[in-house]
A and B are shown apart, each in its own frame.
Chain A
Amino acid sequence: MTTLLRTPLYDVHKALGAKMVPFAGWEMPVQYAGILAEHRAVREGAGIFDVCHMGEFEVTGPDRNAFVNRIITNDVAALEPGQVQYAALLNQQGGIVDDCTVYRFEDKIMLVVNASGIEKDWDHIVAQKKGVNVRLRNISEEVGLLALQGPRAEAILQPHTDTILRDIGYYHFAVGRVAGAGCFISRTGYTGEDGFELYCRSPDVRAIWDALTGPGKAEPIGLGARDTLRLEVGYALYGNDIDETTTPLEAGLGWITKLDKGAPFMGEAALKAQKLEGLGRRLVGFRMVGKGIPRHGMPTLVDGVPVDIVRSGTMSPSLGYAVGTTYLPTSRAAVGSRFHVDIRGEQLEAEVVRRPFYTKGSVKR
């Protein structure tokens, strides 16, 4: 029996009647009003997510950019201060240790990692520090994080900050104040909708949440809808779509993998070899042809032979049909290819479709 961690908003969630579940060592809200209503609120209006469980590492010191470039797949050198980048941490074999976002400041870098990865990522990064002149700090406990997502996000947030939000571009951030509290205001998210991720000091989370919720403002959204929202727009979930046995090339994350950035990084050699040999398999999106809802862990079969499992699967609330992801042999991974999902002993037909499944989001790329 391990004790679950609680975010500063635990009492708020309980008061709102949220159903709480264990997630990556935390006691988190999985739903409040219901997954479908929350999903719709984010697609049509705005929702707010307590994601304080996520991890943040701060990298300072003169060698910070070169150091971070050695540990991530993407290229920090391509970032201006005030920009954000999606990236992955790899092991020596090119498998994904975690996915992360990289914030470049004038004088520091912040890496944001999954809650489940905080300890392992920290060890993985520290082990690569060696003699480099950087200072690493795990600031996960002192940093709070709220995600405000949906087409109305900017309109809801603007009255509570002096920062001109329309000036913050997609995957950019500004340092400012929200509801009086110091924040990094980042135009990023995990839903396919426009919106912001607000990094603040843990004790300030409550004041920001209170300012952005209430009648006519953002609806509270749990982990359930967070998953259906991200899956519809094809964003990977660590531990499902990607893990230490999958490479970013197989996962369709070649766009965050800069093999020619001129700075060797952990896993690079393995990826170059894989690219040379050709990819044996690829992560695909699929929809069920008939009935059935694919769920994580169900076997997927090509010509009756098991090839993988359903990585992510759900009934898509926006589309009204069941979708999922799995790895298929490259020769069978083209859009339109048919294969089967073993749903409780019954082999049901599925068809490879283009990701993202849902393309009408308000995100301003």
Chain B
Amino acid sequence: MANIPADLLYTPEHEWVRKTSDPKVVEIGITDFAQGELGDIVFVDLPKPGASFSRMGVFGTVEAVKAVSELFCPLSGEVVESNAALDGDPALINREPYGGGWMVRLRLTDPAELGTLLDPKGYSAKIAG
């Protein structure tokens, strides 16, 4: 059964969003379910700080041995940091999807968009159905 932490928000495209101490900055990654579906992750292509994306824009790709998946930006904003550790060890996403496997930190253009995300219950229903 995929792990769905109670303190995060989710998208139907299997990204998670974590609020940080700065109300305008969130951390983004892919869910345990997503990493399990992809299998062993061998390559991640992430944007550099300063890159801007609108909600649902493609902000990167994650590649497993046999699968490629585009990463959809859950919210509009500007990248303030991307996880450099993933370059050398993309399998961190498999091992710690909600921890060391985080992908980018995003400064939100419109924090009200947070209301468009799924809560853990909503996401759980989404992957069950």
Chain A residues within CB distance 8 Å of chain B: 19, 30-31, 34-37, 224, 227-228, 291-293, 295, 314-315, 317, 322, 344
Q: Which 9 A-B pairs have the closest CB atoms?
A: A315-B42, A36-B40, A35-B65, A224-B66, A34-B40, A293-B63, A35-B40, A293-B43, A35-B39
A36 engages B45 (CB within 8 Å): no
A315 engages B63 (CB within 8 Å): yes
Query: Which residue of chain A is the closest to B45 with respect to CB atoms?
Result: A291
In the assembled complex, the Cα of A19 lies from the Cα of B33 at a distance in Å of 13
Interface of B is mostly: strand
In the assembled complex, the Cα of A228 lies from the Cα of B66 at a distance in Å of 9
In the assembled complex, the Cα of A181 lies from the Cα of B6 at a distance in Å of 53
CB contact between B39 and one of A31, A291, A292, A295 (< 8 Å): that residue? A31
In the assembled complex, the Cα of A37 lies from the Cα of B65 at a distance in Å of 11
In the assembled complex, the Cα of A276 lies from the Cα of B60 at a distance in Å of 49
Q: How far is the CB of A300 from chain B (nearest CB, A)?
A: 17
Q: How far is the CB of B72 from chain A (nearest CB, A)?
A: 14
B43 engages A227 (CB within 8 Å): no
Q: Which residues of B10-67 are within 8 A (CB) of A? A: 39-40, 42-43, 45, 61, 63-66
B68 touches A (CB below 8 Å):
yes
A224 engages B65 (CB within 8 Å): yes
What residues of A have a CB within 8 angstroms of the CB of B64 in the complex? 35
Query: Which residue of chain A is the closest to B68 with respect to CB atoms?
Result: A295
In the assembled complex, the Cα of A343 lies from the Cα of B42 at a distance in Å of 16
B61 engages A314 (CB within 8 Å): no
A-B residue pairs in contact (CB < 8 Å), sample of 24: A19-B39, A30-B66, A34-B39, A34-B40, A35-B40, A35-B64, A35-B65, A36-B42, A36-B65, A37-B40, A224-B39, A224-B65, A224-B66, A227-B66, A228-B65, A228-B66, A291-B45, A293-B42, A293-B63, A293-B68, A295-B68, A314-B65, A315-B63, A315-B65
What residues of A have a CB within 8 angstroms of the CB of B63 in the complex? 293, 315
In the assembled complex, the Cα of A291 lies from the Cα of B43 at a distance in Å of 9
In the assembled complex, the Cα of A112 lies from the Cα of B57 at a distance in Å of 48
Q: How far is the CB of A212 from chain B (nearest CB, A)?
A: 25
What residues of A have a CB within 8 angstroms of the CB of B42 in the complex? 36, 293, 315
Q: How far is the CB of B54 from chain A (nearest CB, A)?
A: 19
Q: Which residues of B91-105 are within 8 A (CB) of A? A: none
In the assembled complex, the Cα of A35 lies from the Cα of B65 at a distance in Å of 7
In the assembled complex, the Cα of A292 lies from the Cα of B68 at a distance in Å of 11
A344 engages B61 (CB within 8 Å): yes
In the assembled complex, the Cα of A344 lies from the Cα of B43 at a distance in Å of 15
In the assembled complex, the Cα of A227 lies from the Cα of B64 at a distance in Å of 14
In the assembled complex, the Cα of A47 lies from the Cα of B115 at a distance in Å of 49
B66 engages A35 (CB within 8 Å): yes
A315 engages B43 (CB within 8 Å): yes
What residues of B have a CB within 8 angstroms of the CB of A293 in the complex? 42-43, 63, 68
Q: A291-B45, A292-B43 known; 5 other A-B pairs, CB under 8 Å?
A: A31-B39, A34-B40, A36-B42, A224-B65, A315-B42
Q: How far is the CB of B48 from chain A (nearest CB, A)?
A: 14
What residues of B have a CB within 8 angstroms of the CB of A315 in the complex? 42-43, 63, 65
Query: Which residue of chain B is the closest to A19 with respect to CB atoms?
Result: B39
Q: How far is the CB of B38 from chain A (nearest CB, A)?
A: 10
Against A, the Cβ 8 Å flags (1 = close, 0 = not) of B58-98 are 00010111101000000000000000000000000000000
What residues of A have a CB within 8 angstroms of the CB of B39 in the complex? 19, 31, 34-35, 224
What residues of A have a CB within 8 angstroms of the CB of B45 in the complex? 291
- Most B CB within 10 A of own CB, among A36, A37, A295: A36
Query: Which residue of chain A is the closest to B42 with respect to CB atoms?
Result: A315
In the assembled complex, the Cα of A295 lies from the Cα of B43 at a distance in Å of 13
What residues of A have a CB within 8 angstroms of the CB of B65 in the complex? 35-36, 224, 228, 314-315, 317
What residues of B have a CB within 8 angstroms of the CB of A291 in the complex? 43, 45
In the assembled complex, the Cα of A228 lies from the Cα of B63 at a distance in Å of 15
What residues of B have a CB within 8 angstroms of the CB of A35 in the complex? 39-40, 64-66
Q: How far is the CB of A290 from chain B (nearest CB, A)?
A: 12
